[in-house]
Amino acid sequence: MVSVGTIIWLSSELMFFAALFASYFTIRAVSPELWAQETALLNVPFATANTAILVASSFACQWGVFAAERGQVGRTGGLLNFTKWGLREWFILTYVMGAIFIGGQALEYAELIEHGVTIPSSAYGSMFYLTTGFHGIHVVGGLIAFLFVLGRTYLARRFTHEQAVTAIVVSYYWHFVDVVWIGLFFTIYVIQ
């Protein structure tokens, strides 16, 4: 039931982001010269590297889910032996990668603000910060969820099926956030 409820909730989140995409494309269609001017300020190589980190975090998250499904909460080998990692190690890695992504977004915001691209500066600035900002809020929500799952694994005496389900549900959310970002990345940085 938790999985089904999460999928239904993510469907509503998908509609929210669909509205943001529609707004972005609508405003872009009525002011193409503004878009050409403002997108020239984007640091596409940096955004590409930041995107690669977020996509890689999705793989780490999924490997954590595989470990949870096996009932393996912690590593059974050395720290550098990734094949023996459990849920905790993979989710910690996912958390670190997600935090790096958020840090990268903050650096990009600082750079754009330095160039005069702000929310009130133009329609482009408003749409850029709304779409990427709401996505960033969702990433932070995912990071909090990872802390919750990790905390439960450290506090529990034994790893249960319910904890595995929680890890799986958090992975649904994280994969959703990654897919939304891939759409935003192509919309903002590739198509321009």
Query: Long-range contact list for 100-109, CB < 8 A, 24+ apart?
Result: 100/50, 100/53, 101/50, 101/53, 101/54, 101/57, 101/139, 102/136, 102/139, 102/140, 102/143, 104/46, 104/49, 104/50, 104/53, 105/50, 105/132, 105/136, 107/46, 108/43, 108/46, 108/47, 108/50
Tens of pLDDT, residues 24-81: 999 999 988 988 899 999 999 999 999 999 999 999 999 999 999 988 887 787 777 7
What share of the chain has pLDDT > 90, as a percent? 67
Distance, CA of 12 to CA of 158 (rounded, Å):
34
CB atoms inside a 10 Å sphere around CB 16: 11
Model's pTM, two decimal places?
0.90
Residue 2 has pLDDT above 80, yes or no: no
CA dihedral (46, 50, 55, 57) positive or negative: positive
φ, ψ (nearest 5 deg) of residue 139:
-65, -45
Residue 5 has pLDDT above 90, yes or no: no
Query: Long-range contact list for 45-50, CB < 8 A, 24+ apart?
Result: 46/104, 46/107, 46/108, 47/108, 47/185, 47/188, 47/189, 48/185, 48/189, 49/104, 50/100, 50/101, 50/104, 50/105, 50/108
Q: Which residues, at least 6 apart from 157, have a Cβ–Cβ distance to it below 8 Å? A: none
The full set of domains in the chain, from first to last, is: 2-191 (1.20.120.80)
Tens of pLDDT, residues 181-192: 999 999 999 987
**Of 164, 127, 162, which Cα lies nearest the Cα of 34?**
127
- Please, which pLDDT band fits residue 126 given cuts at 50, 70 and 90? very high
Lowest mean per-residue pLDDT among 1-5, 61-65, 121-125: 1-5
